[in-house]
Amino acid sequence: MFTKTVVLPVDIDEAFALITEPERLRRWQTVSARVDLRVGGGYRWTITPGHVAAGTFREIEPGRRVVFGWGWEGATDLAPDTSTVAILLEPVAGGTQVTLTHEGLTEQQASMHAEGWNHYLGRLERAAVDGDAGPDEWAAAPHPLDELSAAEATLAVLQGVLRRLTPEDRPKQTPCAEFTCHDLAEHLFGSLVAFGSMAGVEVVNPGTGSLENRVATMAGQAIDGWRARGLAGTVPTAGGGEMPAATAASIMSVEFLLHAWDLTSASGQALAASDEVVAYVHHLAEQVVPGARGSAFDDEVVPSADADPMARLAAFAGRRPAAA
């Protein structure tokens, strides 16, 4: 068994939101999160790219306690719902005491989960103070990298950028001549519907909530669809043709990372992406970009001699910084 207590400098309702609401969970624990918050309802959390925790809610007392089954998709030793996590919230001076207990684990599993819970409860404390724990180094360079884990890693990068956009950023010009920041968000909605369609799933725009929440929700639907479908065979394209499924899935990473760069270039943010993920996406882009030059991508730009890996990827895709 593992148990740990932390104190958050927020009221009990905000603490409960941090541990149950997808938009809050993405700020400290998950890349994507699906939550059906009712007894018997399920959850599915991509904790780091390629690693999905899932189970059902067993007890819910809003503002006080939540108990849910815990396990990992694809695991034979700890499958979804085969252990139990209980989180108790109690008001204390200056905030809320949060006690997490994880039972039903072997000694080895308890040791491994202790490392994970210590990491994420530390991030929960930062999120309670700052509103966002910032990029998770555990999600930055997943191993192994493939088309779908890269999509989740680059989605995490994109979500962080979207979360920091302000209303003043909406009309700013991005490196894509036809897109302001607002226009680029609208483009992302359409792309995510198309990505889902190629995997055989309907991606639904929630229509409300923050821009980050809508993109995250839709991207989660699309990637879940791809994980269910797999990367074998071919998929239909919008023009009535077909392409290898793996190639189609790889476009998600290219689009997520390049559009994250577009938005940071327009808004003046710094982009937090690991060199490992950028190098992998550059490799994917080499298979995708050349055939789409003149439509989705401009001609390659010569990068500066001191360009970092992300700037080199952007130049390969025909991007120039918005300030240029």
Question: Encoding tokens for residue 294?
Answer: 């003149």
- H-helix or E-strand containing 98? strand 95-103
Query: What's the mean pLDDT in 73-96?
Result: 96
What are the chain's domains? 2-130 (3.30.530.20), 138-316 (1.20.120.450)
Question: What phi-psi label fits residue 228: left (phi over 0), alpha (psi between -120 and 50 degrees) or beta?
Answer: alpha
Give the up-direction half-sphere exposure of residue 35: CA atoms within 13 A in the CB hemisphere: 18
Question: Encoding tokens for residue 216?
Answer: 């995250």
Angle between helices 211-229 and 181-199 (to 10 degrees): 20
pLDDT classification of 324: cutoffs 50, 70, 90: very low
Phi, psi of 66 (to 5 degrees): -140, 135
Gap between the Cα atoms of 47 and 55, Å rounded: 13
For 248-296, how does the pLDDT look when each residue is reduced to its tens digit (9 = 90+)? 999 999 999 999 999 999 999 999 999 999 999 999 999 999 999 988 8
For 204-257, how does the pLDDT look when each residue is reduced to its tens digit (9 = 90+)? 999 888 999 999 999 999 999 999 999 999 998 877 889 999 999 999 999 999
Phi, psi of 235 (to 5 degrees): -130, 155
Beta bridge partners, 2, equal 102
For 166-191, how does the pLDDT look when each residue is reduced to its tens digit (9 = 90+)? 999 999 999 988 899 999 988 999 99
Contacts 24+ apart (CB under 8 A), 293-296: 293/318
pLDDT of residue 209: 86
Query: What's the mean pLDDT in 12-35?
Result: 97
For 131-159, how does the pLDDT look when each residue is reduced to its tens digit (9 = 90+)? 999 999 999 988 889 999 999 999 999 99
pTM for the model: 0.93
Instruction: Give the sign of the dihedral formed by CA 289, CA 290, CA 293, CA 298.
Output: positive
Task: Find out whether 77 and 109 touch, Cβ atoms under 8 Å.
Answer: yes
Beta bridge partners, 32, equal 46
pLDDT of residue 323: 54
